Structure 1
Amino acid sequence: MRWRMRRAGSDDASALSLVASATFLETYATVLEGADLVAHCLKNTTTDVFARWTTDPATIVTIAEHEPGHAPIGYTVLTAPDFPFETRPSDIELRRIYILSQMHGTGLGAALMARAREDAAAFQRERILLGVYEHNYRAHAFYERQGFTRIGARQFMVGTTTHNDPVYARDV
């Protein structure tokens, strides 16, 4: 499969919203409550959320598109850290990294992660932090292969359910 990655702009907010909801539902439909999934998507994967992120100078949003045709197939969001513990001024959070499951095993996830590291370095950040659902073992393994190590935990709400998610970090 072929893809391209590029910095997303505000005109990509609708496409990002669609792929964000699709990938979140696809990833968690069999492990989380349906009402919680829907509530999470309606709050956190909206066009407005992505419009804000793509126009925030402190946030980097990358969209991955299938070639040919440029259908959205994945994305990342790098932004100021939001964790319940003290972070360094040189930290950045990889708030989101998702790809459609049909892209698993193609190298797109690793390519998006490499791009996130490049973007973090361009923003003069030294460390990337990320939180991950406690039972998403595939993601844990991916992050560990990418050089991330666990540094803590945080509580994360999906709908009305609180999850205790590990937090990972790696130097840029």
Structure 2
Amino acid sequence: MYIYYNRDQLILPMDLEILIPKHHLCRIVDLAVEKMDPALFASLYPGGGRPAYHPKMMLKVILYAYVNRIYSSRQIAKQLKENIYFMWLSGHQTPDFRTINRFRSERMKDIIYETFFSIVDLLRQEGLVKLEDYFLDGTKIEANANKYTFVWRKSTEKYDQKLEEKFRQIVASW
């Protein structure tokens, strides 16, 4: 009458990689971080003390969380215990929310731009993104609360030029 149900039964496959589709976004995040220059991570940890979680693993988890619009370190820590994609990226390691928050706010703050641009450049090389066209929302909406908070076109163009210059400098240094 019913399909056999037993929670105490051993379930295969034990390897989560089998359950993740070939072209899933978490595989792209994994590939992007694995191809990054290891020298970027070497400067993060001066040594001594208790062994730390690997910075590549931490970066993969954080990037995948951001792609899925998860920004809370508590929510990221929760996903590491409940979501198979996060489990696979972390290798079943479960850093707590304080460790995640410390990593992104203290360790990554000096190299965040280099990390971002190296991932963008890698995705461009792999053909996953094109840097031909991009769009910057220039909508100006004046609010009653503070009429000076909307963005002017000249300031967005100036910011865009600085960002482009920084990208070229970082790519030229590789």
TM-score, length-normalised on structure 2?
0.28
Whose helix proportion is higher, 1 or 2? 2
